Amino acid sequence: MQPPGDGGAAAARPVQRRHLVEEGPPQAGDLICGQCGVGNVPSRKYCRRCGSSLADAPVVPRPPWWRRLLPRRPRRTHAAGERPRRPRQWRLPRFVLPVVVLLALAGTGYLFRTELLGVVDAVRDRISDPQQFHAVAVTASSARPGHEPGLAVDGTTDKYWAPATAGPGEFLEAGFPGPVRLLDLVVRPGASPVAETFLQQGRPSGLLLTATTADGRTVTRTVRLADVPGQQRFHFAVSDVVRLRLTVQGGYGTADGRPPALAEVEFFKRP
């Protein structure tokens, strides 16, 4: 053991380590040192870290007004050896997407409900077999003696309805027992299916079909008739029909005053 004060090696002194304090970002108005880049308060002449002159140091500008109104949250610092926690990610619940899709489909269906109902009716019309039904009441604008309106729906083709005049505008109207989905209309023009008798009377060349629904709405369509004996079928699909009017638009063989005749009219609905 060596006495104190001899020329031996002196006992090692403990080394004091300076803990570096993490500094925040420079604030508005601070002087930025050109040597070490640390921020200094405006009253300093020399850098607080490296001692360099701050005579030509740039000043940190003030942030814009919108950033001052919404200040940024300070970054969280972590001690040595501490592992930063990953921010929790928000995930959309699984049930939200199906609900949004269903709501979007429901909204679209509501906006286009009329068009969708029309498509459904058209599909049902194509796959159904039209069923004949009969009118419960038949009226007309006028009729020649012996050719009353009911003869146009009596189920025979050798009797016919004929208006009192040969001019256009005369009509035959049929009332139905209740609202029906009208699909087709069969018209047998003239006085008879026999060609010789057919040509002895005027024949309608066009008809204006006017369907009246249960809520008072009307749907119209104009059809052209060929000048031949026998049945002629027309597709006229309308829902909730309670009445159907056939208005004569013109005629064949009516120049000599012979009114256009309708031998038979048949109605067909969706079952």
> DSSP H helical segments within the chain, as ranges?
65-69, 96-111, 113-127, 195-198
Number of domain units in the chain: 3
1 domain-assigned: no
Q: Return d(Cα 54, Cα 219) in angstroms, integer.
A: 91
Confidence label for 72 from pLDDT (cuts 50, 70 and 90): low
Tell me, yes or no, whether 112 lies in a domain.
yes
- Position 20 scores a pLDDT of 44
Same domain, 49 and 104: no
**Any domain includes 140:** yes
Q: By residue range, what is the domain housing residue 181? A: 131-269
What tokens does 49 get?
A: 């870290």
Tell me, yes or no, whether 135 and 261 share the same domain. Answer: yes
Structure confidence at residue 234 (pLDDT): 97
**Of 34-48, 76-90, 125-139, where does mean pLDDT reach its minimum?**
76-90
Instruction: Looking at the structure, tell me whether residues 152 and 238 fall in a common domain.
Output: yes
> Mean pLDDT of all residues in the chain?
84
- Is position 216 within any domain? yes
User: Which of 8-22, 120-134, 148-162, 227-241 is predicted with the least confidence, judged by mean pLDDT?
Assistant: 8-22
Residue 101's Cβ-count burial label (10 Å; 0-12, 13-18, 19+) is exposed
Q: Is residue 87 part of a domain?
A: no
pTM higher than 0.85, yes or no?
Answer: no
